[in-house]
């Protein structure tokens, strides 16, 4: 018996909920003309720093039919990663998303299950978890997941911005598509005022070169003298922590235990990653780094990058 558009849509939404996704939305295919022009202007201003892969994939970002020629829809998903822990005082700061296991390894298998539903129904499906030439935040907006805030993060009224985004591009068409939600930032500019380096150069625009997250993760060279890492050695959450939609009283804890802080053995002692001392991290050898952080987002900075960041933080203390 052939499955209807509505049945397929309901099946995907239900399965996504079972897999732990907190939001699922459906958007109809369209070339992202306006958004790609904005992205090109952003690149032309040098705000991409040396992340040249962004421009390299511009045509695919503009038109997902350069990824899947028969594409008709984009299904966006959001996964909550907030855990009830915080940074302790006098320790190096690591972005909340990186406290636990690498989200790619958690979410990829879940997307694989969702793709199987589509393929079993006779459709093509291509999935990405922040690892492909796709404007995931733009598609999440079109799918009604949330809005892009002035800090350039996707914000949802229930889960704030503590969410991972991913999507499936498919040639399946659905019974009904979602609509964008209202931008709720209003007159608030707390994120812009709070940014330690002034990376938020204007509302909804970030200069990656000035961003602590870029400097501590993506930058492979020296960190410029004028950039103060403000205690951060991997990523930065300042513009998220200050956001009213991320206030602790509103935060909902993730159901995925793998996103809870990993515990690191330090001789006879053990500490969760959000409480580890800078001296403990500094003492880790490159060999141990590869073992300890083999399933962690921290491996993206590599051992050399993490030690560089620690040195920079210590010199600014």
pLDDT of 262-290, one tens digit each?
Answer: 999 877 789 999 999 998 899 999 999 99
| pLDDT on residue 229 | 95
Q: Are residues 103 and 156 in the same domain?
A: yes
Same domain, 84 and 40: yes
> Regarding predicted confidence, which is higher, 190 or 266?
190
* 229: CB partners within 8 A, 6+ apart: 212, 215, 216, 223, 309, 312, 313, 316
Distances (CA, A) of 173 to 26, 59, 75, 87, 170: 10, 23, 11, 45, 8
**Prediction pTM value:** 0.96
Q: Examine residue 179 and state whether it is found in any structural domain, yes or no.
A: no
175 located within any domain: no
Residues 211 and 164 in one domain: no
Condensed to tens digits (0 to 9), the pLDDT of residues 70-110 reads 999 999 999 999 999 988 777 899 999 999 999 999 999 99
Q: According to the model, what pLDDT value does residue 1 have?
A: 61
Closest alpha carbon to 139 in 112, 95, 170: 170
Per DSSP, what are the bridge partners of residue 200?
206
For residues 21 and 135, state if they share a domain.
yes
Q: Find out whether 313 and 92 touch, Cβ atoms under 8 Å.
A: yes
Q: Where are the beta strands (DSSP E) in the chain?
A: 23-28, 73-80, 93-94, 125-128, 147-148, 154-155, 163-170, 200-202, 205-206, 232-234, 263-266, 269-272
Predicted pLDDT of residue 315: 87
Residue 141 confidence (pLDDT): 98
Q: Name the pLDDT band for 55 (thresholds 50, 70, 90).
A: very high
Inside any domain, residue 254: no
130-182 residue pLDDT tens: 999 999 999 999 999 999 999 999 999 999 999 999 999 999 999 999 999 99
**211 and 165 inside one domain:** no
Please count the structural domains in the chain.
2
47 assigned to some structural domain? yes
Note whether residue 128 is domain-resident: yes
Distance CA(287)–CA(284), nearest Å, equals 8
Residue-level length of the chain: 317
The pLDDT value recorded for residue 89 is 74
Average pLDDT, the chain: 96
Let me know whether 147 and 272 are in one domain: no
Q: Active-site positions?
A: 130
317 has pLDDT over 90: no
Residue 249's pLDDT band (cuts 50, 70, 90): confident
195 is in which domain, residue-wise?
190-249+261-316
Q: Is the pLDDT assigned to residue 248 strictly greater than 80?
A: no
In this predicted structure, the answer to whether residue 187 has a pLDDT above a threshold of 80 is: yes
| Neighbouring C-beta atoms of residue 52, cutoff 10 Å | 10
Residue at 184 is within a domain: no
Region 206-220: what's the mean pLDDT? 98
């Amino acid at each position: 018996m052939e499955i209807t558009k509505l049945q397929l849509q309901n099946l995907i939404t239900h399965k996504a909920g079972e897999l732990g996704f907190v939001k699922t939305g459906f958007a109809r295919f369209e070339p992202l003309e306006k958004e790609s022009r904005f992205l090109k202007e952003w690149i032309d201003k040098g705000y991409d720093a040396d992340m040249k892969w962004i421009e390299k994939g511009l045509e695919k970002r503009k038109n997902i039919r350069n990824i899947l020629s028969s594409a008709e829809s984009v299904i966006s998903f959001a996964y909550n990663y907030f855990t009830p822990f915080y940074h302790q005082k006098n320790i190096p700061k690591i972005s909340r998303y990186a406290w636990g296991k690498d989200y790619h390894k958690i979410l990829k298998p879940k997307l694989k299950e969702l793709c199987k539903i589509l393929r079993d129904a006779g459709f093509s499906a291509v999935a990405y978890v922040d690892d492909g030439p796709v404007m995931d935040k733009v598609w999440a907006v079109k799918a009604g997941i949330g809005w892009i805030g002035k800090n350039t993060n996707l914000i949802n009224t229930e889960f704030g911005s503590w969410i991972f985004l991913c999507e499936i591009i498919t040639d399946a068409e659905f019974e009904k598509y979602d609509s964008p939600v209202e931008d709720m930032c209003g007159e608030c500019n707390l994120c812009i005022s709070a940014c330690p380096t002034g990376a938020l150069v204007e509302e909804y625009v970030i200069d990656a070169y000035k961003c602590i997250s870029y400097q501590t993760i993506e930058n492979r060279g020296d960190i410029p003298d004028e950039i103060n890492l403000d205690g951060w050695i991997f990523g930065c959450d300042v513009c998220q922590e200050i956001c009213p939609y991320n206030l602790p009283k509103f935060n909902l804890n993730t159901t995925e235990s793998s996103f809870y802080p990993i515990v690191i053995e330090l001789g006879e002692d053990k500490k969760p990653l959000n409480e580890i001392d800078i001296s403990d991290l500094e003492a880790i050898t490159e060999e141990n780094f590869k073992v300890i952080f083999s399933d962690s987002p921290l491996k993206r900075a590599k051992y050399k990058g993490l030690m560089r960041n620690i040195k920079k933080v210590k010199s600014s203390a």
